[in-house]
Amino acid sequence: MERISISQRMTVFALAAALVMLPVAALAQQTQVVAPKNKYKVQDDVRLGNQAAAEVEKQFPIIYDQEADAYLRRVGERLVRSIPRRFNQPAFNYQFKWVNASDLNAFALPGGPMYVNRGMLQAAKNEGELAGVMAHEISHVALRHATAQATKQSSAKNTLGTIGLILGGAILGGNTGAQLGAAAAMAWQTKYSREYETQSDTLGAQIMADAGYDPHDLANVFQTIAGEGSRGAPEWLSSHPDPGNRYQKINREAQYLRISPNPIKFTRDFERVQSKFRSMPPARTMAQIQKQGGGATENPTAGGRYSRNVPYPSSQPKEYSGSSFVRVWIPDNWREFGGQNGAQFAPEGAYGDQGITHGMMIGIFPGSNGSLRTDTENYVNETLQGNSYLRQQTRLTSRSLAGRQGMTIQLAGQSPVTGSTEVVNIYTTRMRDGSLFYAVTVVPANEANAYARTFNNVLGSIELN
């Protein structure tokens, strides 16, 4: 064996040490993001986001497609897991939904709700570009830019009571944010500052790298946008940092990040859902939705015909497991109308443009980080607001549901469809993520006894995931 001199050993040791230290030195140069000053509580972000989400989903066409929803949720949850610990707020409830709009855009609300336009996926070159847009939006939420922006405002009118929502945090921002705010009937809105946009680009790149994506794809989004702009897309970027500068800054940040040698680019899910969206009828722009109205999600029961001769529930059950959060057995002569956050079940003749007259509804309602009673009261109040003919008949009382502590209350009123008194019973319990699970039974008062056993059987069969 050849002997190695002391000087040679020292040289080898120095080289080895340098190789070990290189990544550390490089990582030390990555931009340190500091959350801006914020005088509001985390719960304020959650409350604002929940209120805004309810308005958004009344105004804009949400896509309900189980495969597409599950895919978006997987990408979103992967990114959320990579939020740096110092910015991770346990009270935030990140949720992800598609909007049936052609614009290349996405926006996130305080506390976690995020909406991605169908046009963004259709134009994305790969999953990394989609993830880049989402990582940017998640960064706005994690850094609490909405309430931080409110903190910076000197005007007395910009309190939480009137701020409503800051939607300019979409990666494209500009006019779309303003249009969306107006369409959602918000009292006031503004755009995020250039400083906040840069922060979200930087943190978004860091989140992407940690989640297994290539931050360069976030930079490439701006080239995709520029390409669409040359074909006449709305010029949202005019009031935001130049896309070329953002492109360069993100790529520079990427030099100091540990990027997987095989980052996530093309996946079967990406290609399948993108193909599905491209095969759908053309989507309207946000501006068209605002101008034409009728943008709210179509009731899945729309198109049905009401009848006075509604068949009684079958004694033969069938399993419904179309939602990721629940499994339940319903009569096999009831139709299923699924959605992203719930489902409706009704027999023929009991559903139409104004909802159901006989049957059940199940779903998820955003939690407020309060008690089960508080969240249930919030859901009941929203139900009463959306169904002005109903009135509270009983007090809120305790009742188990799906083996968990729950609550129940009864409402009633003259149905605008049947003209007779309708009885509505609401049952709730809490999910592990803090959201509220609800089950609602609906039936004319003169048929309540005939449906009682069926309702009890369905309620007893509910299994929550």
Query: What distance in Å separates the CA atoms of residue 268 and residue 266, rounded to the nearest whole number?
Result: 7
pTM: 0.58
Angle of helix 268-279 versus helix 66-80 axis, rounded to 10: 140
**Amino acid at site 241:** P
Strands 95-99 and 113-117: parallel
CA distances from 420 to 385, 389, 413, 426, 435 (A): 20, 11, 8, 19, 33
Show the domains of the chain with their CATH numbers: 25-292 (no CATH), 317-464 (3.40.1000.10)
Task: Taking the CA atoms of 137, 143, 144 and 147 in sequence, report the sign of the dihedral they define.
Answer: negative
Nearest-angstrom CA–CA distance, 312 and 454: 10
Whole-number Å distance between alpha carbons of 303 and 288: 24
- pLDDT tens for the chain, residues 1 to 465: 334 444 444 443 443 443 333 344 444 588 999 999 999 999 999 988 888 888 788 778 888 777 889 999 999 999 999 999 999 999 999 999 999 888 888 889 999 999 999 999 999 999 999 999 999 999 999 999 988 888 876 543 444 443 444 444 444 433 433 344 433 333 233 357 788 889 999 999 999 999 999 999 999 988 887 776 544 333 334 334 454 588 899 999 999 999 999 999 999 999 999 998 898 778 888 777 776 654 444 567 777 889 999 999 999 999 987 777 889 999 999 998 876 578 899 999 999 878 899 999 999 888 877 799 999 998 998 888 778 889 999 999 999 999 999 999 999 999 989 999 999 999 999 998 888 999 999 999 999 999 999 999 999 999 998
Nearest by Cα to 247 from 129, 131, 342, 332? 129
